[in-house]
Amino acid sequence: MATFKAPQTHQEFMTEYPRTTADSLAGQMLRHYWHPVCFSRDLKDIPYGVRLLGEDLVAFRNTNGALGLVGRSCAHRAASLEYGQVTSEGLMCSYHGWTFNSEGRCVAMPLEPANCPLMKKASIPSYPVQEYGGVVWGYLGANKGNPPPLPKIDMLVRDDGELSMERGDIRDYTYLNWLENIADNGHVHVLHTLLPGVIPDDIRPYINTTVDPDWRNSKFSVFETNYGMKTVLVQNTADPNLKFVNTLSIVFPNCWRMANNGGIPPDWSNDRRESGGLLRIIDDTHFEVMRLSFVRQGNYRKGFRASDPKLDRSIKDRLRGTVEKKDYDYRQYPGWEGSTSLEDLIMQQSQGSPADREELLASSDAGVVRLRRIFRKCMEQVAAGEQPKAILNNDQGVIEADTFKGLVTVDELKVGPENMPSSRDGRGLLRDATGKLLFA
Amino acid sequence: MATFKAPQTHQEFMTEYPRTTADSLAGQMLRHYWHPVCFSRDLKDIPYGVRLLGEDLVAFRNTNGALGLVGRSCAHRAASLEYGQVTSEGLMCSYHGWTFNSEGRCVAMPLEPANCPLMKKASIPSYPVQEYGGVVWGYLGANKGNPPPLPKIDMLVRDDGELSMERGDIRDYTYLNWLENIADNGHVHVLHTLLPGVIPDDIRPYINTTVDPDWRNSKFSVFETNYGMKTVLVQNTADPNLKFVNTLSIVFPNCWRMANNGGIPPDWSNDRRESGGLLRIIDDTHFEVMRLSFVRQGNYRKGFRASDPKLDRSIKDRLRGTVEKKDYDYRQYPGWEGSTSLEDLIMQQSQGSPADREELLASSDAGVVRLRRIFRKCMEQVAAGEQPKAILNNDQGVIEADTFKGLVTVDELKVGPENMPSSRDGRGLLRDATGKLLFA
Amino acid sequence: MATFKAPQTHQEFMTEYPRTTADSLAGQMLRHYWHPVCFSRDLKDIPYGVRLLGEDLVAFRNTNGALGLVGRSCAHRAASLEYGQVTSEGLMCSYHGWTFNSEGRCVAMPLEPANCPLMKKASIPSYPVQEYGGVVWGYLGANKGNPPPLPKIDMLVRDDGELSMERGDIRDYTYLNWLENIADNGHVHVLHTLLPGVIPDDIRPYINTTVDPDWRNSKFSVFETNYGMKTVLVQNTADPNLKFVNTLSIVFPNCWRMANNGGIPPDWSNDRRESGGLLRIIDDTHFEVMRLSFVRQGNYRKGFRASDPKLDRSIKDRLRGTVEKKDYDYRQYPGWEGSTSLEDLIMQQSQGSPADREELLASSDAGVVRLRRIFRKCMEQVAAGEQPKAILNNDQGVIEADTFKGLVTVDELKVGPENMPSSRDGRGLLRDATGKLLFA
């Protein structure tokens, strides 16, 4: 591994920041972490081609169940192993039958003499690969023999509801525009309120409509945590003893947690449906959004996006605006306002690369600033030969990146790196006057 | 602004000639002129993204009616203002609400404290923008406080007929190939006669079929004018006292005037329908054709292309050949002969950039040579720190780039920079023996 | 012509190997040979645009029948002659009428004075062009006055059956990946056996099912020949006196011969249908496959691809896998196994350029190694100012690149550069017990 110099200026940092390949400092830094590759359900009887951090790889599960994550090109004539055959031993190149196991070692050459000495020389790159909670993770770093612990996000193994996963929304810009958008609670209060929402009749009785939507009257706080970072927004209500709180978490460098929807004026919902996702960082200018949605009894289910593996790769088709297209709207995304996902896509895509962007950061960008500081510090640590920020599971073996959205009394308000009352406790679920769950 | 050296050789000129960006001499020269941005009707309640001379801009009309032409990226986080919201004050970025007025100054930051001092620092590029005759014009030059007069082409405000405007035909080559094609009357007599036309029965009685189509028997003259340049073609008829004349004008550097159609052998029409257009110079290799057609009482209206704003951007779909496609014609444009617009498109597109082209100019290229001389002289003037060719409206406040096509007697023939009998005078309209207009 | 240094290292060779343009050693070497341009039937009453060895050319047949192969750009204003008009004299540019004959000399300038002296200066590049067997061949080399003899492949003029030709399968990678695939018999025994074939009932009685499919029990031999190279595979049968033999030929540097299909376990056919084709080498990363299929009385015709000129350019649409697409198969080519052409396409395309590829060649790559040696030697000869390998027709005026697939007795087995019993002799055709041809 080459050595890299830490960025000395802001512009040097912004140029290095979006890089992902092994020949860059930022790419080396990212290689200290596990990255989502695909969902477990994606590995069936055919290989799964996947580009990760600028490397063309193939993931597979051999017929004995062992996982593999290897380079895309066969060691023989460089044909793509994405079209290889999954066998009991590993992955066979379809061209001439060379077969590689999960360690990348060649174990069969059917067109060469038995025990051909060349077999010892033939190998392809391979990387540690593990599964957790239905997600396949890969580690592309140098420390293959002793990779860091898997980031076991609690949401992936919650047993008190239904988790759905969607994949296939591939973006053509840096993943950092997505992450910064998550760290930036402020945009929700402008961008996502462009079209006034309608409070559904069946949850209207449970909405606190006195929440003050004015950002200037709210308090926005940002904290580095032992898994990444967290933002906390506290808004006033008519009751001085009652606050409306919304927290978001980022598990460094590729996961996020938030409330799925609701909570945007004027539909101030107390509904705490869990949401979030994982970013497959494809390369400097591409990433895949792997979405997670968690719903439990008592959540308002309407508008919930059902998970269906067949829907993978078609999510972009559903990123349509809800406004009727004007016949004089010649933009790439006509009638875009009203779809939160599309609103975010347009802003993020149009920002371009951090390296080329001219910016003027303000007080409400505190989350973005914090996120960059964490990236920059990690890059400096790697440049100095040190380990970057550790992402450690807690005593229960998971990462509690739990988020919270809903009403809390002033005395239970916790504005800090620790969590609000957990989303596990049933707080925020919609109940009738007797406490019975409304949506069961 | 950097200083630029004038091209010393023909190849240096041809390399500089198609450039449009601010970091080039040709681009700086172009910035001394007003450029068409869009039609007035394009500026409604949403912003209009437009690329001009290599700059990504957004045009808008705020809800109080004021026009703006500003840079595309928000000063805050660089999101695209093409997706901004038009307000009474100007243009609001949809991401965090920063709002910019027509001068590019930030006038609102809803997520920052009131009277945030940052607001004084936040600004985006803005350019002078004006309307004339239903066209929005922008000036991207250095002299923002005192731009040159708008080029008020008379055709845009003629009140003696019906003007239609079409937009949306975007080409993927330099605008100069279009302009040179206009300056080159000769090609009309080869390219546009590949398929013999048919004279419609209802105008056949009014056609002088004795016009001699042989270019070698015609006289082609080229003149620089105070608005640009003009070509005059004089053809013989059987009557020695009667000539058939066709003039074309170029208003430097981005407008042209001509007869719309007719006049090509064998359908020598005396019909003087006005035609022309404006070029939005997008960048070195792209431009948009903004077509103008002017028809008055007495013009033959059949085949007239009706203007419909909804047709914008679909013009290219109508660029189809009229010949039945042969099943062995594998070219990009099969069956292309017979559609004048498509014929021109294919020739212009296939020429490639002037910078790369090998040419051998001949006597019939006099118009092309003149056009290049004007461009070169203007570039030399700018390189010398002088003003390039002035485009001045006349005493009546307009540019009389009037063209003429039709029969004239020898004694009224004016072969020079001044105009033939004006198209306003009703000459050339089709009348019956009593002088009554035929198409009313 | 610049001089070029022969590659000194394997990497230098692999970098030079796929080059095709005149500014490269490999491109200069290729220019010592005739190249297929199109089929004779492609030259009708419109020009035929064709890119060859990185040069944009136009082929045409003037109305007197003479062929021409000239540069694409008109000498005047560089408009494309692909849209020119075929005349009795040659090819007329549609823009201004300049007309060029087959030697590239300008013979008409209708917009210039008669006998304009410029006409002597005006010319475009032209190349020798000839027809043989329904194929138009071009020679782009320096020795225009004395090009080498046409490579008269016998298959093109066989009169004992029906020859069909297909064109229009254009690939986006180097032609060498195709040629190396031909030289590599081994892949047939892995790649093309991924899906077990079914022996049709009507030829089942004529199949020798005792052929031993194990490559390790076969003998693979490679020979340089006076037209290029040849591979011979000999497989055992249950009868020690009977061998199953398959030969393939490459006519350097752009043609191949082989059996069309059959012969892959478990459908060991004794059917010797002739197949092969020509490669139009478009540029470093593109080529067109011009397929030849020869069928005579007695060949099994089912599944035979009928030739239809209208099918040209649609072959790629037919490159579809035969496997039902799995709904979790997100690859570019889902369900690809079972179509030999598609199997080859995927392997070749995914290999990328030889220049970038990491390889590990083994014993079964003997054909690939031989092919490269021929290329390298020819490149060295050209670098030394010598003629590269001569491709000479035989005494009968043709190239006998005849291939053979079928059963032979041990005593008639000829493993060497000469041919097996010729495909002309009727051996291998399917007959009943009385010797009567089964498919007549």
Of residues B204 and A319, more confidently modeled? B204
CB distance C364–A78 less than 8 Å? no
If you average pLDDT over residues A173-202, what whole number do you get? 89
Looking at chain A, the whole-number percentage of residues with pLDDT higher than 90 is 69
pLDDT at residue number C280: 98
pLDDT at residue number B267: 62
pLDDT at residue number B121: 96
B187, B353, B372: best mutation site toward chain C, by most C Cβ within 10 Å? B187
For residue B96, give the nearest of A327, A343, A364 by CB distance: A364
Residue C310 confidence (pLDDT) above 50: no
Residue A94 in contact with partner chain C when CB distance is under 8 A: yes
Chains that touch C (3 or more CB pairs under 8 A): A, B
pLDDT at residue number C313: 43
If you average pLDDT over residues A164-188, what whole number do you get? 95
For residue B327, give the nearest of C49, C82, C310 by CB distance: C310
Other residues' Cβ atoms within 10 Å of the Cβ of residue B197: 15
What's the pLDDT band for B200 if we cut at 50, 70, 90? Answer: confident
What ipTM was assigned to the predicted interfaces of this complex? 0.94
If you average pLDDT over residues B395-401, what whole number do you get? 91
CB distance A333–B97 less than 8 Å? no
What's the pLDDT band for B321 if we cut at 50, 70, 90? Answer: low
pLDDT at residue number C228: 97
pLDDT at residue number B261: 59
What's the pLDDT band for C267 if we cut at 50, 70, 90? Answer: low
CB distance C215–A122 less than 8 Å? no
pLDDT digits (tens, 9 = 90+) for B138-168: 999 999 999 999 999 999 999 888 898 999 8
**SS3 sequence of chain C:** CCCCCCCCCHHHHHHHCCCCCCCCHHHHHHCCCEEEEEEHHHCCCCCEEEEECCEEEEEEECCCCCEEEEECECCCCCCEHHHCEECCCCEECCCCCCEECCCCEEEECCCCCCCCCHHHHCECCECCEEEECCEEEEECCCCCCCCCCCCCEHHHHCCCCEEEEEEEEEECCCHHHHHHHHHCHHHHHCHHHCCCCCCCCCCHHHCCCCCCCCHHHCEEEEEECCCEEEEEEEEECCCCCEEEEEEEEEECCCEEEEECCCCCCCCCCCCCCEEEEEEEEEECCEEEEEEEEEECCCCCCCCCCCCCHHHCCCHHHHCCCCCCCCCCCCCCCCCCCCCHHHHHHHHHHHHCCCCCCCCCCCHHHHHHHHHHHHHHHHHHHHHCCCCCCCCCCCCCCCECCCCCEEEEEHHHCCCCCCCCCCHHHCCCCCECCCCCECCC
CB distance C75–B360 less than 8 Å? yes
Nearest-neighbour CA in chain A from C215: distance (Å): 6
pLDDT at residue number A107: 97
Of residues C5 and C192, more confidently modeled? C5
Nearest-neighbour CA in chain B from C123: distance (Å): 10
pLDDT at residue number C17: 98
- Of B111-115, B151-155, C321-325, least confident by mean pLDDT is C321-325
Q: How far is CA B220 from CA A351, B372, C190, C237, in A?
A: 53, 17, 72, 84
pLDDT at residue number C224: 97
A44, A50, A77: best mutation site toward chain C, by most C Cβ within 10 Å? A77
Residue A302 confidence (pLDDT) above 90: no
CB distance C359–A77 less than 8 Å? yes
If you average pLDDT over residues B360-370, what whole number do you get? 98
C41, C83, C123, C169: best mutation site toward chain B, by most B Cβ within 10 Å? C83
CB distance C46–B191 less than 8 Å? no
d(CA A366, CA A254): 19
Of residues C12 and B408, more confidently modeled? C12
CB distance A186–B96 less than 8 Å? yes
Residue B191 in contact with partner chain C when CB distance is under 8 A: yes
Looking at chain A, the whole-number percentage of residues with pLDDT higher than 70 is 92
Residue C141 confidence (pLDDT) above 60: yes
pLDDT digits (tens, 9 = 90+) for C83-135: 999 999 999 999 999 999 999 999 999 999 998 999 999 999 999 999 999 99
For residue B328, give the nearest of C96, C110, C309 by CB distance: C309
pLDDT at residue number B311: 41
Residue A106 confidence (pLDDT) above 80: yes
pLDDT digits (tens, 9 = 90+) for C330-372: 899 988 887 788 899 999 999 999 999 999 999 999 999 999 9
User: In whole numbers, what is the pLDDT of chain B averaged over residues?
Assistant: 90
Query: How many A-B residue pairs are in contact by the CB < 8 A criterion?
Result: 96
Q: What is the pTM of this model?
A: 0.94
pLDDT digits (tens, 9 = 90+) for A29-83: 999 999 999 999 999 999 999 999 999 999 999 999 999 999 999 999 999 999 9
pLDDT digits (tens, 9 = 90+) for C406-430: 889 999 998 999 887 777 777 778 7
pLDDT at residue number C427: 78
For residue C95, give the nearest of B331, B347, B352 by CB distance: B347
User: Which residue type is seen at A272?
Assistant: R
What's the pLDDT band for A264 if we cut at 50, 70, 90? Answer: low
Give DSSP secondary structure letters for A74-127: -TTT--BGGG-EE-SSSEE-TTT--EE-TTSBEEE-TTS-TT-THHHH-B--B-
Which chain B residue's Cα is nearest to A353? B78
pLDDT digits (tens, 9 = 90+) for C268-296: 777 777 889 999 999 999 999 999 988 88
pLDDT digits (tens, 9 = 90+) for C223-241: 999 999 999 999 999 999 9
Of residues A313 and A141, more confidently modeled? A141
Nearest-neighbour CA in chain B from C169: distance (Å): 13
pLDDT digits (tens, 9 = 90+) for B122-146: 999 999 999 999 999 999 999 999 9
pLDDT at residue number C286: 98
Which chain B residue's Cα is nearest to A352? B78
The residue to which tokens 């040709």 are assigned: B26
Give B201's contacts (C-beta < 8 A, 6+ positions apart). Answer: none
Residue B194 in contact with partner chain C when CB distance is under 8 A: yes
pLDDT at residue number B129: 98
Residues 290-319 on B with a CB inside 8 Å of A are 309-310, 312-313
Residues of B in contact with A194 (CB under 8 A): 85, 94
Which chain C residue's Cα is nearest to B193? C94
Nearest-neighbour CA in chain B from C94: distance (Å): 5
Residue B195 in contact with partner chain C when CB distance is under 8 A: no
Residue C363 in contact with partner chain A when CB distance is under 8 A: yes
d(CA A300, CA A295): 9
CB distance C83–B328 less than 8 Å? no
Task: For residue B113, give the 3-state DSSP assignment.
Answer: coil
Nearest-neighbour CA in chain B from A349: distance (Å): 8
Residue A113 confidence (pLDDT) above 60: yes
A57, A94, A170, A311: best mutation site toward chain C, by most C Cβ within 10 Å? A94
Residue A4 confidence (pLDDT) above 60: yes
For residue C82, give the nearest of B186, B326, B331 by CB distance: B331
pLDDT at residue number A156: 95
- Of A201-205, B27-31, B250-254, C392-396, least confident by mean pLDDT is A201-205
Chains that touch A (3 or more CB pairs under 8 A): B, C
Which chain C residue's Cα is nearest to A123? C360
Residue A320 confidence (pLDDT) above 70: no
Residue A364 in contact with partner chain B when CB distance is under 8 A: yes
Which chain A residue's Cα is nearest to B85? A194
What's the pLDDT band for C385 if we cut at 50, 70, 90? Answer: very high
What's the pLDDT band for C320 if we cut at 50, 70, 90? Answer: low
For residue B111, give the nearest of A189, A329, A331 by CB distance: A189
CB distance B94–A351 less than 8 Å? no
What's the pLDDT band for B116 if we cut at 50, 70, 90? Answer: very high
CB distance C94–B337 less than 8 Å? yes
CB distance B116–A333 less than 8 Å? no
If you average pLDDT over residues B12-30, what whole number do you get? 98
Closest CA to B79 of A170, A11, A177: A177
